[in-house]
Amino acid sequence: MATSKLSQFGLQHVARGIGRLTPEVIESGSGSHVTMVGGKRYLDFTMGIGVANLGHCHPKVTKAIQSQVGQLLHGQVNIAFQKPYLELVEQLIPIMPHKSLDTFFFWNSGSEAVEAAVKLARHATKKQNIIVMQGSYHGRTMGTMAMTRSKTVYGQGFGPLMPGVFSVPFPYCAQCSVAQASGGKYSSSNCCMDPIRQLEVLLKQETAPSDTAAIVIEPVLGEGGYVPAAPGYLERVREICDKNGILLVADEVQSGFGRTGKMFAIEHWGVRPDILVMAKGIANGMPLSGIVARKDLMDTQMPGSMGGTYGGNAVACAAGVAVAKAFKEERILENVNARGQELSDMLSKLRSDPKTADIIHDVRGLGLMQAIEFKSGAAGSIGSKVQAKCKELGMLILTTSIYDTLRFIPALNITKEDMAKGCQILKEAIEEVAAGQKPQETATRGQALE
Ligand SMILES: Cc1ncc(COP(=O)(O)O)c(C=O)c1O
């Protein structure tokens, strides 16, 4: 089948609800690049939405998978322990963001792991309600749809959703009305802490601490716009949790495994989560997710209440072990911080450059989890125009959030040369879109588009 025929076949027979960045068909991936059927090659700044973090088909991960396939493909966790599962636990214990996090449960997807965290929180506290952040993304299952507050499309028309979920604003200073009205007094480095006040109000008006099992939070809001929590915010949330017997659940499905320059994003704030949720980068593309908590919390669950046919699959765990080893052997975090600095320098230059400053509302992020938010105008999303231009120039990037935001998720081991190339493409695309943008199309601050 020719490329276009294959695409047509996909468009005809694959669920429309999926939606995709391009109708092309990926043939292969290697390192920071993907090649499409037909031969078109792209520099990939999406990495399968932050999954193939060590690059497509990392040789050590591929080798570990191949070797495990011939040893044991499927053991099933309710039958017996599996060696790769235990080896993965052994690899992960030393890199957890707090030494209390020592007992693991593996699942397949991020959504399932978030649901496992909710089950654990409800069971351990004997309380029901869950607090999430506005702008949060926790998945597309029936439970996690109810916890997702980044775009209505994820839950629209699928209700009734799981009850007992409440939301409060995340400290998203670039969109906070208090910060915007403060004339520069408050900003992302000096948050007004209104979200803390609103959390305290929520616990008095809507969900009493005695009914609240957990606060679930992405330390860096992912689908909601790549927004790192403002300094001091997570520390205050931890205090509120401690005071009220509420568990703090860090959803690090997207921000974990080195993405922000530390193994887990929450380490930037030194805050201890009670439950940590992980997925995506854990196995570089094999379907694997998990939760970790302290033993006394995890051991409240009855044997048999957890498990599942494919969860913690032996091959996926073997890939996870190879990922953990590669992190150390290849000094991945050092590269994340060096390349992240280059990306952030380039974004800051664009923000102050008179050629592009007028269309940029905010640049932000940590490590290689960075974003640029545009001042969107009447003509529609600037981000989508930049995204299309980048694709024309040979690079895949993603938009995110209801605000006009482009996010950058390159491989954590991207080379200096590929980062320079990506930055050059991005600069060219943004300059071209800025030059074609009429003044009335640019709002004075970031506006929600969808
Ligand atoms: C923070 C966060 N939590 C949960 C999920 C859901 O993970 P999955 O798509 O593997 O179910 C995602 C996916 O993007 C995510 O970013």
Residue 224 Cα to ligand 1 middle (Å): 12
Based on the domain organization, do 45 and 143 belong to the same domain?
no
Do the domain assignments include residue 449? no
The total number of structural domains in the chain stands at: 2
Own/partner pairs for 360-363, CB < 8 Å, 24+ apart?
360/430, 361/174, 361/403, 361/404, 361/445, 361/446, 362/174, 362/446
- 39 vs 221: CA distance, rounded Å: 35
- 139 vs 222: CA distance, rounded Å: 12
Do the domain assignments include residue 446? no
Nearest alpha carbon, ligand 1 atom 3: 138
Rg over alpha carbons for the chain, rounded to the nearest Å, is: 22
- 355 vs 351: CA distance, rounded Å: 9
Based on the domain organization, do 345 and 307 belong to the same domain?
no
Max CA separation in the chain (angstroms) = 65
Quick one: which H or E segment has residue 107?
Answer: strand 103-107
- Chain mean position to CA 418: 22
Closest ligand 1 atom to 255 CA: 1
In the DSSP assignment, the letter for residue 83 is H
Residue 148 Cα to ligand 1 middle (Å): 10
Based on the domain organization, do 89 and 133 belong to the same domain?
yes
- 345 vs 338: CA distance, rounded Å: 11
Q: What is the DSSP string of 22-47?
A: -S--EEEEEBTEEEETTS-EEEESSH
In the DSSP assignment, the letter for residue 403 is B
The CATH number linked to 369 is: 3.90.1150.10
Based on the domain organization, do 133 and 240 belong to the same domain?
yes
Residue 359 Cα to ligand 1 middle (Å): 30
143 lines ligand 1 (CB under 6 A): no
CB-based burial of residue 160 (10 Å sphere; 0-12 exposed, 13-18 middle, 19+ buried)? exposed
- The boundaries of the domain holding residue 359 are 3-54+331-441
Based on the domain organization, do 271 and 295 belong to the same domain?
yes
The whole-number pLDDT of residue 57 equals 98
Based on the domain organization, do 87 and 141 belong to the same domain?
yes
Do the domain assignments include residue 47? yes
Q: What is the DSSP string of 288-313?
A: -EEEEE-HHHHTTSPTTSS--SSTT-
The whole-number pLDDT of residue 241 equals 98
Do the domain assignments include residue 105? yes
Closest CA to 317 of 142, 114, 13, 68: 68
Residue 138 Cα to ligand 1 middle (Å): 5
Tell me the pLDDT of the chain (450 aa) as tens digits: 566 899 999 999 999 999 999 999 999 999 999 999 999 999 999 999 999 999 999 999 999 999 999 999 999 999 999 999 999 999 999 999 999 999 999 999 999 999 999 999 999 999 999 999 999 999 999 999 999 999 999 999 999 999 999 999 999 999 999 998 999 999 999 999 999 999 999 999 999 999 999 999 999 999 999 999 999 999 999 999 999 999 999 999 999 999 999 999 999 999 999 999 999 999 999 999 999 999 999 999 999 999 999 999 999 999 999 999 999 999 999 999 999 999 999 999 999 999 999 999 999 999 999 999 999 864 458 999 999 999 999 999 999 999 999 999 999 999 999 999 999 999 999 999 999 986 655 554 444 433
Residue 44 Cα to ligand 1 middle (Å): 19
279 lines ligand 1 (CB under 6 A): yes
